[in-house]
Structure 1
């Protein structure tokens, strides 16, 4: 490691104690960020200062935060989200199909609105884009996190989460559809004036193996006055269909197709 004069170290510590970031100090003094971080660590240790990583976690700080963005992100998390918690590695991941750039952008935007301090990033593998946000506090924001797959453990919302979903139901529904749902065109045939004709109509599908997550979806649809039905495919009742014209019109107005 390159040796630096005590005066430069003292200048760095003075800037750090005034609130200047490690990056800014490193750039200002032309010193590696690792060296600046080490100086800061040793200074805190010498002064007996216990360091807590700053956070704007809405649960830990009890601050006001963007409820519509949270309701949307909750829907995404329950569908295609995952939290990785390891020593020095904590992050929330939302997995999106690469063909929907709008959903990818919204996922990252929602993360940044719920917690502004953590950095975000994207990683693409084949046709999947993983949108990530790095903070161990995502487990506070999503207490449904736990070992194993979501459909293998109970999924229930905390009281404060239920209040947000109740106040922002469409954002929650939109997040669920953008993760595990779709809007497509279905078809059937009818006899019109003695002639069989093909008839097409839009339908919203939501598919999730977890009984609890499907129930959260259908309970919210019920609260919104949306008519839905179970749609069993290949003997598995994991699909929820919304096909009534008035209900589809409401879904179109508040959810819409992926983009």
Structure 2
């Protein structure tokens, strides 16, 4: 991908505003005509010259109503498998959440969640090997997901803003469900016991949440504590990044509000 400097872009806008057509400006500045068209469209939209078009409103900037419960779920998905890309200063950022092909219901919920939180923005699915990236484009992604930043999540501090914490406190199960749907699972464990001199096999359900970020794991366990769900740190393969929920009453709570992926 070729990036054009601010000076070239400003020269193009000056010519366009003076009445020059896209093709002439493209030839004069040696810039693809499609890029010229995009710059012209964005310039007109910025100045309110696109009939019938409007910039989608933002719950943070414009006080648009926010579907808070769905946002809590989407926040959980983002903290687990989400990423915000912003390729250049002239492109609209996109939120991308990777969903494995094994769970088509999860992809559907993710897409529905994006459409509920961003009702005026485009949502799409991009096929990748073994998964699909569910994406939404919005200029206000950084407003709603201030945890975005350079580098990997586990290499930087992840803290919820006060307004985000209020939403998580109001919709804790939706937040937990998003985290489990991204970096968690429900499995069936088994063990054996001697009963009357005979060894018998017992099976029991268990939830795991695995994330390398200490901060994200803490957000998960702090929310579990508030919900009365008992959990334990579980080291697997030498990695202390796993949170286990195995107590019968706690698993029953998780089943009632989260359930297995599908």
Q: What interval of TM-score do these two structures reach, taking the shorter chain for normalisation? A: 0.7 to 0.9
Residue 10 of structure 1 corresponds to: none
In 2, the alpha carbon distance for the partners of 1:128 and 1:40 equals 32
Contact persistence 1:183–1:205 (CA under 8 A): yes
Q: How does 1:99-118 map to 2 (within 5 A)?
A: 99-118=102-121
Deviation string, structure 1 residues 184-222 (Cα, Å, up to 9, x no partner): 001111111121111110000000000000000000000
Displacement of 1:38 in angstroms is 5.6
Aligned length: 223
Q: How does 1:51-200 map to 2 (within 5 A)?
A: 54-85=55-86, 86=88, 87-200=90-203
Deviation string, structure 1 residues 74-129 (Cα, Å, up to 9, x no partner): 00000000001132131000101111011101111111111111101001112111
Contact persistence 1:92–1:133 (CA under 8 A): yes
- CA RMSD, Structure 1 to Structure 2 (Å): 2.4
Deviation string, structure 1 residues 4-30 (Cα, Å, up to 9, x no partner): xxxxxxxxxxxxxxxxxxxxxxxxxxx
Partner secondary structure for residue 93 of structure 2? strand
Partner secondary structure for residue 182 of structure 2? helix
Q: Which runs of 4+ in 1 moved over 2 A?
A: 37-42, 48-53
Aligned CA distance change for structure 1 residues 39 and 257 (closer, same or farther; 3 Å): closer
Q: Unpaired segments of 5 or more residues in structure 2?
A: 1-35
In 2, the alpha carbon distance for the partners of 1:66 and 1:231 equals 34
Displacement of 1:53 in angstroms is 6.0
TM-score w.r.t. the length of structure 1 is 0.81
In 2, the alpha carbon distance for the partners of 1:124 and 1:258 equals 20
In 1, the alpha carbon distance for the partners of 2:226 and 2:41 equals 56
TM-score w.r.t. the length of structure 2 is 0.80
In 1, the alpha carbon distance for the partners of 2:178 and 2:41 equals 44
Contact persistence 1:93–1:131 (CA under 8 A): yes
Contact persistence 1:120–1:132 (CA under 8 A): yes
In 2, the alpha carbon distance for the partners of 1:123 and 1:131 equals 6
Residue 222 of structure 2 corresponds to: 219
Partner secondary structure for residue 89 of structure 1? coil
Q: How does 1:240-251 map to 2 (within 5 A)?
A: 240-251=243-254
Residue 17 of structure 1 corresponds to: none
